[in-house]
Amino acid sequence: MNIISMKNILQKLEHIRANVFKHALISFLLAIPLEIPQAGASVAASHQIASNDGVPTFKSLGLTIVKPLKFMSAAEKEPEVYDAETLKSLNMTQDEFIQREYELRELAADTLLDIYFQINRNTISIDASLEKKNYVIPGNNWQSITGTNYEYLVPVLDRDLSKALDDIRGKEKYHCDCTIASGFAIYALIEKFFPESKNEFLKSTRIKHVQEKRELRRAELQSQGRPFFVDDYKQQLAMELAKGHTMEPLQEGARGIKPGDHIYFEGHPQYLAVHPAGTFRGEYLFFVGYNLKGLKMYIGCGELFAKGPKTAQEIQKNLAEKYLKGMTFSGEEARNKELESAYQLIRGILPTNSKLSVAIILDLQKP
């Protein structure tokens, strides 16, 4: 194992941002097929997000990949450990891996901010009585499949993934919720990370293969006495991207979460008892970076995220509000007391996450 101090990491990341020529030179030598920004441009700009469309970007929001040093705990300042075997298999030094991780996670954040902006612009609010058959996306590039307890939309086999995503990015309205939206986001990441092989990658994760892997994973976790949190096609696709990670309790420590990771925030435990047909029992989200105050920012589907990512506090307070919706109280004070109680209960529930594996993505990108 090799170790590099957090201080050195931060210094190197700042150097990386200022040295675009070095980006291009190293990436050329490594023959990694990823777009490199022109001089004076950012990695975010390579996604060609039109600023006049009002799309929030990683840089326009002032986000960072790592928490600003002044907000770090002692644990977060501890040196990060990189596996020597992984670096060797990628034919990379620590410095090169750190650089590529920084670039890929910023690219992931911009991709997620972009696709969710399009989704939230086009989404028609979900009605509690909405039938599954109304989850229809314009065009003929999507089909629905039924999971254990849900219905999902997936690209039609042998269609171009970019054309399917263009249906999502178009101007026509459609019904969507946070679960379906997070599936779209994963497809957008596949499109961005594997531009030349995206359709082949998609075919490798078709339904039969994924269902087989799902059952194997379920059996593996059950044999270890561990719960299988999510058992649907969409999450298995995320597992393909992260190679083996499923939704597991998020261990908040020095590096429990990084930009690009897929997160689920649980809502109030009694939400479904109060709202049997409700759609706010939780939120599927993606972590997109730290803000200037050192707070984690998450992007998701719905009115709350119409103008960009939110903090955990904003998301969990919104889930508390959704739980209280329709209830009557003796007065404002009583309602506020119940709201705070609901929020504190939700806040105490450990989120689950599926990590984005940069090492695996780099390995798959190798020519």
- pLDDT exceeds 90 at position 62: yes
In terms of Cβ atoms closer than 10 Å to its own Cβ (0-12, 13-18, 19+), residue 4 is middle
DSSP 283: E
What is the mean pLDDT of the segment spanning 268-283? Answer: 90
CB atoms under 10 Å from CB of 275, counted, come to: 18
- At 325, list the tokens: 């919706």
What is the mean pLDDT of the segment spanning 163-173? Answer: 89
b/e map of 191-230 (b: 16 or more CB within 10 Å)? bbbbeeebbebbeebeeeebeeebeebeeebeeeeeebeb
Alpha-helical runs (H) found in 129-252 = 161-169, 178-193, 198-203, 207-223, 233-242
Those residues whose C-beta lies under 8 Å from the C-beta of residue 127, and which sit 6 or more positions away, are none
Rounded to 10 degrees, what is the CA torsion of 175, 115, 320, 353? Answer: 120
Amino acid at 260: G
Of 75-89, 126-140, 209-223, which has the strongest mean pLDDT?
A: 75-89
Identify the weakest region by mean pLDDT among 12-21, 178-187, 189-198, 247-256.
12-21
What is the reported pTM? 0.76
Residue-level pLDDT at 214: 58
- At 104, list the tokens: 């890929």
Domain residue spans of the chain: 2-122
Q: Write out pLDDT tens, residues 214-256.
A: 566 667 767 777 654 443 444 445 444 543 334 444 444 335 7
